Structure formats: C-alpha cells, structure tokens
A and B are shown apart, each in its own frame.
Chain A
C-alpha cells in the first residue's frame, strides 16, 4: 500500500517559475525523503528531512515538514527544463522489527517548458 500521496499528480510550468509539490502521509514517520525520476529510469535521492526538522534547503530545493498535519512540500525555485521529471516523496516508518524500507507515493509529474 502507498503511504504518501503527492499533489498535484501533474504540474506544467514555464522555465524560471517555481514549482511546489505536496505530499501527505498517514502514519508517524522517522524521516521523509524526496526522490526524482527521469522518465523510466532509476530514482535519485534529493533531500531527507527528519521528523524533528521543519525546513531544509539544498541548492534550489526547499523542503518543509509539518508532522501535525502529516504533510510535506517540495519547492523547486527558478525551474529549468532539466527539472522535468517525476518527483516522489517516501517515508521511513518504524514497523515492528522492520526499519529497512521506504514507502513511496504515486509521484508528481513535473514538466518545465523552455
């Protein structure tokens, strides 16, 4: 089953604009991670935010986490055509004895037009 749900499912913007993607999840988490996937290829880790953090930056990326609302957002500033990809949030959850897997959402498909 999928823990996270990204919103919107698809987003189309012009180069230079900002892109915001949201993720909601259901259960308590240890951390939340964002990954990027170019069409049909492997996923690339972007950023990890721990449950006791509220905001984190990495280059043009800004991630926020609101554990009271069980939600996170990924902001990409000054987007480029090369940012065109699918973006997934993933949560690390403490199951009994199993801490080794991430639960991914369905992703947001971002299209940045030149």
Chain B
C-alpha cells in the first residue's frame, strides 16, 4: 500500500506570493495533520482535519489555511509568504484523530524556500 504522498517535493517562492501544498493520506486514514519543521527544530503542529472538519489548529497566523476533501486528501495554503515560512512542511495521516491512542504516519515533506 502507498504511504502518505506529498507534492511538490521542493519549491521556491518569493516574498508575498502564495503557495499550495498537497497531501494524500494512507488509504483508510481519515485524519490528516500538517506540521512545519524549520531547520534544526522539531515539527510544529499547524492543523488537523478529520472527516473534512478542522479538529485542531496550532499557533500559526491566519495566512495559513487548509482544507480536506471528500477523498480525505488535503491542501495547505500559505498566503503572503515571509522569509520565515521557509521550512519543511510535513503531512501526516492517522486512522483516527486521537493521538492519545495512535501514531502518525508522515509523508516525505514539501521543502519550501522563500526568497
């Protein structure tokens, strides 16, 4: 079975532009989470979606938004890009939304560079 897939793998944008990152979860997984990982740091939680509804949001500005589609795939959008948005964006899926019971399965990430 395919794992979590993310696209694009690498992209370069300039300040002020907008970016859309895509994620397909493992088949049967209904929960998708997004994390931002700045170089040298651990992943920071951005959003979680389950059954197309937002179930959690981290401490990120409103420039960050996401959605989940009926097939459980997800998009993360970032508007008005800043240099500090340069990071590895990780998508993770899980069977249920409760981390108290389960683990996350991560994709390989989308490396965003903002110039």
Binding site for B on A (CB under 8 A): 1-2, 4, 30-31, 33, 35, 40-45, 48, 88, 90, 92, 94, 98-107
Contact = CB atoms under 8 A, between A and B. Distances in A.
A2 B42 contact: yes
Contact of A103 (B31, B45, B97, B102): B45
Interface of B: 4, 31, 33, 35, 40-45, 48, 50, 55-56, 58-59, 88, 90, 92, 97-109, 111
A12 to B, nearest CB: 17
A100 B56 contact: yes
Contacts of A48: 102-103
Contact of A100 (B31, B43, B108): B31
Q: Is the interface of B mostly helix, strand, loop or mixed?
A: loop
B108 A30 contact: no
A88 B44 CA distance: 12
B55 A104 contact: no
Contacts of A92: 99-100
A66 B42 CA distance: 22
Contacts of B100: 30-31, 92, 94, 99
A43 B33 CA distance: 13
Contacts of B50: 100
B98 A99 contact: yes
Nearest to A107: B42
Contacts of B58: 101
B33 A33 contact: no
Contact of A42 (B59, B90, B102): B90
Scoring A43, A45, A90, A107 by chain B CB atoms within 10 A of each residue's CB, the highest score goes to A43
7 contacts: A2-B44, A41-B108, A43-B90, A48-B103, A88-B43, A99-B99, A106-B40
A98 B106 contact: no
